[in-house]
Amino acid sequence: MELDRVKTVGVIGAGLMGSQIAELFSKVGGYQVVMWDLKPEFVNSGLEAMENRLAKFFVEKGKMTADEAKAIRGRVKGTTNIAEAAANAEYVVEAVLENTEVKKKVFSQLDEAARPDTVLVSNTSYLNITDIASATRRPDRVAGMHFFNPVSVMRLVEVVKGTLSSQETVDLVVGMSVKLGKEPVVCKDFSYGFLANRCNRAMRNEAVQMLWERVAPPEDIDKAMKLGYNLPMGPLELGDFTGGWGIAISSEEDAIRELGPEKGRAHPLIRMMVRAGYTGGRSGKGIYAFWRDVMSRW
């Protein structure tokens, strides 16, 4: 598939990432987008989130007119029929729950419905692309396209080459990333967590260990990383912001399989926090709150 043949893009999942990805393809790429989710209320909430973001971050800030926002929204159609989202698209981006079995089921449905030359990409954060592609009859036309949250702000896209992904597919995903105004990096999928999340895992686990040892409070651990390494956010703040603490536990099990036991172990502090409901992100309380409410009182 060549980049200029792509006219319609299917986005599978209308959650936090799917809704932002659909917006980006319409806003920057000018594509027609069909966004799917399981239930009409999930689709509607993804469309509503898109309208709100366009109003708040673009129209109200004078970065686009209300008519431009309307046109961007107008190119995105919602559906609960996965075949409809795949059948007319030349390029499909999947952004459903981070679980290999769920993704394989979705990819097998996409493979059934999509035209044979349609390229299917996954926004998975760390799952194995070759495994996901094995649910299709077109593993050469499957790759990873890993966006970062918030999608319109973060410049990186990790383009993940599965063992069977063709060079043509990788080139298409790289070209698409550039067209969408992003900076792609290409990596192979036989590591774990691609490039940024694998490095972040190591940094996050070390920061949690230091908090556990009470070397310093969370503010100072983050301050050291921000000022010492010129990062906009420290590893603990970032965990709270992304709501990644629950995922940090389940992903360690995969990390043990892929990288070996010495590299994959969810820290006991993360397990304690998550069991007590301190997961960060949408829960509104993460490691900073756990330190304040629980640990600092021990």
Ligand X SMILES: NC(=O)c1ccc[n+]([C@@H]2O[C@H](COP(=O)([O-])OP(=O)(O)OC[C@H]3O[C@@H](n4cnc5c(N)ncnc54)[C@H](O)[C@@H]3O)[C@@H](O)[C@H]2O)c1
97 vs 178 by CB, closer to ligand X = 97
Nearest CA-CA partner of 201 in 262, 146, 251 = 251
Instruction: Out of 98, 158, 189, 240, point to the residue binding ligand X (CB under 6 A).
Output: 98
DSSP string, the chain: --GGG--EEEEE--SHHHHHHHHHHHHTT--EEEEE-SSHHHHHHHHHHHHHHIIIIIITTTSS-HHHHHHHHHTEEEES-HHHHHHT-SEEEE---S-HHHHHHHHHHHHHHS-TT-EEEE--SSS-HHHHHTTSS-GGGEEEEE--SSTTT--EEEEEE-TT--HHHHHHHHHHHHHTT-EEEEEESSSSSTTHHHHHHHHHHHHHHHHHTTSS-HHHHHHHHHHHHT-SS-HHHHHHHHT-HHHHHHHHHHHHHHH-TTT----HHHHHHHHTT---GGGS--HHHHHHHTGGG-
Of 24-32, 112-120, 123-131, 205-213: span binding ligand X (CB under 6 A): 123-131
Q: Is 125 in the site for ligand X (CB under 6 A)?
A: yes
Q: Is 136 in the site for ligand X (CB under 6 A)?
A: no
Give me the active site residues, please: 125, 146, 158, 197
Instruction: Out of 13, 139, 218, 264, point to the residue binding ligand X (CB under 6 A).
Output: 13
CA distance 133 to 129: 6
Of 10-18, 173-181, 213-221, 249-257: span binding ligand X (CB under 6 A): 10-18
Instruction: Out of 123, 165, 177, 279, point to the residue binding ligand X (CB under 6 A).
Output: 123
Of 64-72, 111-119, 144-152, 211-219: span binding ligand X (CB under 6 A): 144-152
Q: Is 242 in the site for ligand X (CB under 6 A)?
A: yes
Instruction: Out of 8, 25, 34, 37, point to the residue binding ligand X (CB under 6 A).
Output: 37
- Report yes or no: 127 and 98 within 8 Å, Cβ to Cβ: yes
Instruction: Out of 9, 34, 76, 96, point to the residue binding ligand X (CB under 6 A).
Output: 96
Question: Which two tokens mark 112?
Answer: 């059934």
Minimum separation from the CB atom of position 289 to ligand X (A): 19
Q: Is 199 in the site for ligand X (CB under 6 A)?
A: no
Minimum separation from the CB atom of position 39 to ligand X (A): 7
Question: Which two tokens mark 197?
Answer: 């999340």
Q: What are phi and psi of 67, to 5 degrees?
A: -70, -40
Q: Is 133 in the site for ligand X (CB under 6 A)?
A: no
CA distance 61 to 153: 15
Q: Which residue is nearest to ligand X (CB)?
A: 15
Minimum separation from the CB atom of position 212 to ligand X (A): 25
68 vs 134 by CB, closer to ligand X = 134
8 vs 125 by CB, closer to ligand X = 125
Size of the site for ligand X (CB under 6 A): 23
Minimum separation from the CB atom of position 84 to ligand X (A): 15
Instruction: Out of 50, 106, 135, 145, point to the residue binding ligand X (CB under 6 A).
Output: 106
Q: List 142's β-bridge partners, or say none.
A: 120
58 vs 107 by CB, closer to ligand X = 107
38 vs 202 by CB, closer to ligand X = 38
Interface contacts to ligand X, rule CB under 6 A: 13-18, 37-38, 42, 95-98, 102, 106, 123-125, 146-149, 242
